[in-house]
Structure formats: C-alpha cells, structure tokens
Chains A and B, each alone.
Chain A
Amino acid sequence: MSTTIYLARHGETTWNRAGRLQGRSDSPLTVRGVRQAQAMGTALRVVLGSTDHQVWASPIGRTRQTVAILCDTIGYPYHAVRFDDRLVEITLGDRDGYAGWRELARDYPQEAEQRRRDPWNFRHPNGESSQMVQDRVRPLLESWSAEGGHHVVVTHGVVSKILRGLHLGLDRMQTYALDRPQDAVHRLHRDGIDIIRVERSGR
C-alpha cells in the first residue's frame, strides 16, 4: 500500500511576524496564524475525504495549537494525535529566540562565517546542524513509507524542508532552497510532491 504524507507547517506566530528565530523556543499563533491553520484544515478535509489517516505533530506549543485547530476542522480527535519529539524544529541552541539572522551575524560574526562555509554541518553552541535534523527525521519518513496509508504531519519550517529534500532525493543546496509556506500543505507521494494552496480569509 502506498504512502501519502500531508506536510503542514504551523500557522504564523507572534515571533514569526517579528522575525525572531524560534528554534525550539515557542510563541503563540497570531490571528492570521489561526486562520492559516483553519484554512489548512479545510483544504485537508477536502483532499482526505473519507480515507483513513493518522495525524502526527511536533509537541511544541505552536504546532500543538495548529494541530488542535486542524483536528477540529478535519474532525479528528485531538487525543489520537501522535506527538513525536523527532518532529521538533531545529534548535539554534543558545541562540534560540534571537532577534533575527541579521542581529545574529552582527553579534556573532565568526559563527556567521562558519555557517556560510558549511551550512549543512554548522551548529550554533548547543544547537543542531541540518545533518542532525536529517538523522532524526529519516527514521520517521522510513516508517511512514513502510506503513503505507495517509499521514498528516504538523511540523516546522526547517524540518519540513529536510523531509521534502529526503523524499525527493535533493542535495543540500536544493533542500535549503525549498520554501516554508504557512498557507499551503505539501502532499508527498510516490511520484513527488504536490503543493496544495489553501484559502486564507484576509483581515
């Protein structure tokens, strides 16, 4: 039986809007983020139809919030969501919560230079590299592929890019070049990836 994975990023948070780097730290959804989560749910309800599916999510607050809204919209019980630590966002370690990339580069120019030279293996102090994230999500992707069926996965920007890069067999630069929308869901299947744009009611 083939596998289909619906990959969703959490809705916009207050720190997304402020340009702050969250990593494993957390901030709540904005009104726009709530609407995005609801729109993703509405789109998923249509594409899932009556097929059986399992919902997975990162246990961080913003993904919990997003999946709660998604569950209500698609009619899936929240208590059946599989929260998995392997889906948490890449952590910038000591730099989680920093004001932004520009500020980081200004305050830690040597780290910025190391990152520029080898972004894939670079880690901030007490942080993770992209390689480490790939190592922790690969087994998840493999178990979903082995299991078959439909899986809705609510996670984060970098984790989503790395999952898609693995799925498509992309190289590192191609993986980094992928987008991280909060108003679309990526459908990963045997033949590649579709993007499902969602309706978002504006303010």
Chain B
Amino acid sequence: MTIYLLRHGETIWNRDRRLQGQRDTPLTLRGTHQAVAMGQRLARVLGGRRPGAMLSSPLGRAYQTAALVADEIGVDPDRIVLEHLVIETSFGAWDGLNMEEILEQYPHEWAERRADRWHRAPPGGESHAEVAERAGRFLAAMPDQRPLVIVAHGSFNRILRGLWRGLDGLASLALDEPQDGFYRLDSERRECFIPAGAAPREDAGSS
C-alpha cells in the first residue's frame, strides 16, 4: 500500500502565524504555487498514471490544494473524495489565535498542555491522542485503491505519519510540516520526503 500524503499550500493565516485548526483561510499566492509544484512533482512520481483514489480534508485550504494537484495529475476534481477523518486537529478556542494571544488569554491552559502535550486538549479542542484515535480509524478503514493521494494538514499529517511508522506520540509531534514537498508512505512502513523541486531522500522506522 502506498500513500502520498500532502499538506495544503501556505494560507493567509499560516503566513500570519495564526493557528487555523478547523477554521479556514484561503491559499496565498505562494500557497497556490506550492500546490501546483507539488502536483507537478506528484505527476512525475506517478509516471503519468492516475492514483487509485484521491482524498481531501473537507476544509477549504485542503480542497483548494487538492483541486490544483488534481489538475496537474489528470484527476477529475469531482472525483476527489472529501474525508472527514483527516480534517485538521481542532485547537478549540485557540483556532484563529496567534501565539501571543494564546499566551495572553490562556496562560494556564497553555502551561497545562505543555505538561502533558499528548493527552491534554486545548479548551474546546482535540488532544493529539484524540486525533491519533481518529487517524487510526481512518487507516483501518481507508480505501484499498492504490496508490492513495491524501491532501490534509500539518498537525494531522504528523500524527498519521507517526502511526504509520510506529513512533510514539511525542516523537510524532517532533516531525515536520512541509508545504514545499510531500511524503510517500510505503508498505514497509517507511516514509520518504519528496521535495516539489528535487530528488527524494528517505527516512525509515523510528527516529
């Protein structure tokens, strides 16, 4: 089973350094270029073949990215399946805030979360443990069509990759969230970063 896991391109709030969570802002100009570049790279990686299926988180930024990638890889955008289980982590009351605002308005909750990053949820939001639970449900029930292309999010994707590679929770939180390339998850439970511009480099097992 091969999965190509993409994060959406840069958005207005990414650039403003605001947490988006399950709120949404559109792609910036740079974000659209990133989406097209990832799509072009993916087209080359697929050797001009279409993927077995293409899934997208239902949030605007992911679906916008998926539509642009679909154009580059020759998939009819109406065939993109919206998958709720891969929606971004909800940060609850912190969705839409920047770090300064969070520290100012929720110093106590922030400290509590730092003390137990994996299990502690932001107020009204999801803990990483809860996200891992739904990511696990997604993996257990995902379509069998190969390869699978998934367009999702920074926080969610780290957790999915951690599960795939068998990392413990905190190790998965240390993974990166690139927008200038994407990951191939292969049947050996390895991941391989594919930059939108150059040759792939590999990472196997637990780091």
Could you list which residues of chain A lie within 8 angstroms of chain B, going by C-beta atoms? 14, 18, 27-31, 34, 38, 61, 64-65, 68-69, 72-73, 78-79
Known: A31-B72, A34-B68, A61-B60. A69 touches B32 (CB 8 A): yes
Known: A28-B63, A31-B36, A34-B32. A68 touches B26 (CB 8 A): yes
Whether the Cβ atoms of B78 and A64 lie closer than 8 Å is no
Which B residues touch A14, using CB under 8 A? Answer: 67, 77-78
Which B residues touch A73, using CB under 8 A? Answer: 29
Whether the Cβ atoms of A72 and B30 lie closer than 8 Å is yes
Whether the Cβ atoms of A31 and B28 lie closer than 8 Å is no
Whether the Cβ atoms of B26 and A64 lie closer than 8 Å is yes
Which A residues touch B78, using CB under 8 A? Answer: 14, 18
9 closest residue pairs by CB, A with B: A72-B29, A28-B67, A14-B77, A68-B26, A28-B64, A31-B71, A65-B26, A34-B32, A64-B26
Which B residues touch A69, using CB under 8 A? Answer: 27-29, 32
Asked if B102 is an interface residue, CB under 8 A from chain A, the answer is no
Asked if B53 is an interface residue, CB under 8 A from chain A, the answer is no
B46-81 interface (Cβ within 8 A of A): 60, 63-64, 66-68, 71-72, 77-78
Whether the Cβ atoms of B68 and A31 lie closer than 8 Å is yes
Query: Complex formed: what's the CA distance from A72 to B16 in Å?
Result: 13
Query: Complex formed: what's the CA distance from A79 to B98 in Å?
Result: 15
Asked if B12 is an interface residue, CB under 8 A from chain A, the answer is yes
Whole-angstrom distance from the CB of A202 to the nearest CB of chain B?
Answer: 14
Which applies to chain B's interface (DSSP): helix, strand, loop or mixed? helix
Which A residues touch B28, using CB under 8 A? Answer: 68-69, 72
CB nearest neighbor in A for B67? A28
Known: A14-B78, A28-B77. A68 touches B67 (CB 8 A): no
Which B residues touch A29, using CB under 8 A? Answer: 32, 64, 67-68
Query: Complex formed: what's the CA distance from A112 to B53 in Å?
Result: 38
CB nearest neighbor in B for A30? B71
B1-52 interface (Cβ within 8 A of A): 12, 16, 25-30, 32, 36, 39
Query: Complex formed: what's the CA distance from A31 to B26 in Å?
Result: 15
Which B residues touch A78, using CB under 8 A? Answer: 12, 25
Which A residues touch B25, using CB under 8 A? Answer: 68, 78
CB nearest neighbor in A for B64? A28
Query: Complex formed: what's the CA distance from A18 to B70 in Å?
Result: 14
Query: Complex formed: what's the CA distance from A73 to B33 in Å?
Result: 13
Pick the most buried of A28, A34, A72, A78: most chain B CB atoms within 10 A of its CB: A28
Which A residues touch B67, using CB under 8 A? Answer: 14, 27-30
Whether the Cβ atoms of A38 and B29 lie closer than 8 Å is yes
Query: Complex formed: what's the CA distance from A30 to B64 in Å?
Result: 8
Whole-angstrom distance from the CB of A13 to the nearest CB of chain B?
Answer: 8
CB nearest neighbor in A for B39? A31
CB nearest neighbor in B for A17? B77
Besides A30-B71, A34-B68, A78-B25, 9 more A-B contacts (Cβ < 8 Å) are A14-B77, A28-B66, A28-B68, A31-B71, A38-B29, A61-B26, A64-B26, A65-B64, A69-B32
CB nearest neighbor in A for B71? A31
B67-107 interface (Cβ within 8 A of A): 67-68, 71-72, 77-78
Which B residues touch A28, using CB under 8 A? Answer: 60, 63-64, 66-68, 77
Query: Complex formed: what's the CA distance from A150 to B27 in Å?
Result: 25
Which B residues touch A72, using CB under 8 A? Answer: 28-30
Which A residues touch B16, using CB under 8 A? Answer: 79
Whether the Cβ atoms of B26 and A34 lie closer than 8 Å is no
Which A residues touch B77, using CB under 8 A? Answer: 14, 27-28, 30
Whole-angstrom distance from the CB of A19 to the nearest CB of chain B?
Answer: 12
CB nearest neighbor in B for A73? B29
